[in-house]
């Protein structure tokens, strides 16, 4: 039996820090400006989805798919990003979700490699604001990814960067698209939040996410 996972791979938005809400506020404003109203429930379907694809989903939701040229779409996505990046100024070292910093420190002590699999192009800046960059051994580069979650591409890139096999790793996600991506590459999946299907283990919030729980999941499944 293999006693420890080869790596733990984290999503960022909604797992490490609550930027999911900031994404929502920025999209809500841009959507409003083109006459589309979105709410938090719809926003759940954008979690783990790249900026460009999120815009397309919003336009489709508002019955405006195909109404804007690629240039205007690029401007809308850029405007959303400016609003979002501005809101990131409020992030501090205290914006890390409960239990996450402690878990990352324990994984260091246990010598378990840690990876990041976020499709956000802002991920490196966010980790810096949280003073967590040094806790990650490898962060997959979202700029090199062609498919958003639920495609497993970003998780496979994180595994490749760490030099580990997906089947020997645990992935942690707050979005259904993310759980599907983790499962698609044969990793064990841990879900954060409610309403997720198919996670190997699920917690209502990050404060319950501890190394003993992850270790128990590993021993049970492997």
Facing residues of 172 across strands?
A: 10, 190
Question: Is 150 in contact with 47 (CB distance < 8 Å)?
Answer: no
When asked if residue 49 is in the footprint of ligand BG6 (CB under 6 A), the reply is yes
Q: How far is the CB of 122 from ligand BG6 (least distance, A)?
A: 4
When asked if residue 51 is in the footprint of ligand BG6 (CB under 6 A), the reply is yes
Q: How far is the CB of 202 from ligand BG6 (least distance, A)?
A: 18
As a whole number of angstroms, the distance between CA 100 and CA 163 comes to 23
Q: Which is nearer to Mg ion, 43 or 200 (CB)?
A: 43
Q: Which is nearer to ligand BG6, 12 or 107 (CB)?
A: 12
Active site residue 13: yes
From the list ligand BG6, Mg ion, none, pick the one residue 174 interacts with, judged by a Cβ distance below 5 to 8 Å according to partner type.
Mg ion
Active site residue 11: yes
From the list ligand BG6, Mg ion, none, pick the one residue 121 interacts with, judged by a Cβ distance below 5 to 8 Å according to partner type.
ligand BG6
Question: Is 161 in contact with 138 (CB distance < 8 Å)?
Answer: yes
Binding site for Mg ion (CB under 5 A): 11, 13-14, 174-175
Listed residue (101, 98, 99, 120) closest to 19, CA to CA: 120
Largest Cα separation within the chain, whole Å, is: 57
CA 102 to chain centroid? 19
Question: Is 116 in contact with 136 (CB distance < 8 Å)?
Answer: yes
Size, binding site for ligand BG6 by CB under 6 A: 16
At residue 5, φ and ψ (nearest 5 deg) are -65, 155
When asked if residue 13 is in the footprint of ligand BG6 (CB under 6 A), the reply is yes
Residue at shortest CB range from Mg ion: 14
Question: Is 50 in contact with 181 (CB distance < 8 Å)?
Answer: no
Q: Which is nearer to ligand BG6, 84 or 218 (CB)?
A: 84
Choose which of 10, 17, 55, 120 interacts with ligand BG6 (CB under 6 A): 120
Q: How far is the CB of 138 from Mg ion (least distance, A)?
A: 18
When asked if residue 54 is in the footprint of ligand BG6 (CB under 6 A), the reply is yes
When asked if residue 48 is in the footprint of ligand BG6 (CB under 6 A), the reply is yes
When asked if residue 81 is in the footprint of ligand BG6 (CB under 6 A), the reply is yes
Report the b/e string of 207-220 with b at 16+ CB within 10 A: eebebeebbebbee
Catalytic residues: 11, 13
């Amino acid at each position: 039996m293999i006693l420890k996972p080869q790596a733990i791979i984290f999503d960022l938005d909604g797992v490490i820090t609550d930027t999911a809400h900031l994404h929502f506020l920025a999209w809500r404003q841009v959507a409003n400006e083109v006459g589309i109203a979105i709410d938090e429930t719809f926003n759940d379907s954008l979690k783990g989805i790249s900026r460009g694809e999120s815009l397309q989903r919003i336009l489709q939701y508002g019955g405006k798919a195909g109404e804007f040229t690629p240039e205007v779409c690029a401007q809308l996505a850029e405007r959303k990003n400016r609003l979002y990046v501005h809101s990131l100024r409020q992030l501090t070292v205290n914006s890390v979700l409960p239990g996450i910093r402690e878990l990352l420190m324990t994984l260091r002590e246990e010598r378990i490699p840690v990876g990041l699999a976020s499709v956000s192009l802002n991920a490196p800046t966010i980790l810096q604001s949280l003073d967590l960059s040094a806790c990650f051994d490898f962060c997959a580069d979202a700029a090199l990814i062609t498919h958003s979650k639920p495609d497993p591409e970003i998780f496979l890139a994180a595994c490749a960067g760490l030099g580990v096999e997906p089947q020997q790793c645990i992935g942690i996600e707050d979005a259904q698209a993310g759980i599907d991506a983790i499962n698609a590459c044969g990793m064990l999946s841990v879900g954060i939040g409610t309403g997720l299907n198919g996670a190997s283990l699920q917690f209502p919030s990050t404060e319950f996410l501890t190394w003993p729980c992850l270790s128990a999941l590993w021993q049970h499944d492997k």
